[in-house]
A and B are shown apart, each in its own frame.
Chain A
Amino acid sequence: MSKNNANLETNKKHVPTETDSSSLKGTFIFTMSIGLFIVLSWSAIFFLFLNRM
């Protein structure tokens, strides 16, 4: 038991420093792509409807 605890203590030195996980760049690109897809498909159907009036 005490031996394990000692190991944990030493491992603490290797705790990684703060990475860039808070970047929202990928999320942003993906969100806007989905948004663009929805807007384009909605508009296409809406203009088809208007053309057939």
Chain B
Amino acid sequence: MHLHRYEKIWLTFGIGSLIIFLTVLGVSAFAMGHQPPSHMAKVDPQNVRSEAPFDEPGLRQIDETTYQANIIAMAFTYQPNKIEVPVGSTVRFHVTSSDVVHSFTIPNTNVNFMVTPGHINMAEHTFTEPGTYLVLCNEYCGTGHHHMQMTIEVVE
């Protein structure tokens, strides 16, 4: 089969970028443990509050610098509505919804995911700067959507 020289160049370029892209994806998924926020962890959306971990929403310390935050999103707030962690902490957010689809978004961070009922949606973030972080819902969820927020205090 005869291939034009230009065709060889752009085919090499295309296949090369595909290989680079899949390598980056593979390394971040299998070596660094990145996964979609909803993954496969499930919870009964009808009885969110009756079983662990959402029977006791709030912050739980896992080790010296790691915390797990179990948060229930609902129209039109989050429970708990405010958490406080020391600066340098890594917080694992485990969020579910007791009604419709919401989101859990901390502006200017990589924490920005949909909160789907029936799933435990997860993300992790290390807070290296002290301050008050706003959490917003960016999935339209009803008439009070624009009031839906919570705060994370990162203290020295």
Contact = CB atoms under 8 A, between A and B. Distances in A.
Interface of A: 24-25, 27-28, 31-32, 35, 38-39, 42, 46, 49, 52-53
B5 to A, nearest CB: 9
Give the size category of B's interface with A: 10 to 19
A49 B21 CA distance: 15
> Could you tell me the dominant secondary structure of chain B's interface residues?
helix
B110 A32 contact: no
Contacts of B17: 35, 38-39
Contacts of B10: 28, 31-32, 35
> Could you tell me the dominant secondary structure of chain A's interface residues?
helix
B108 interface: yes
B9 A35 contact: no
B109 interface: yes
B13 interface: yes
B36 interface: no
A32 B4 CA distance: 15
B156 interface: no
B6 A52 contact: no
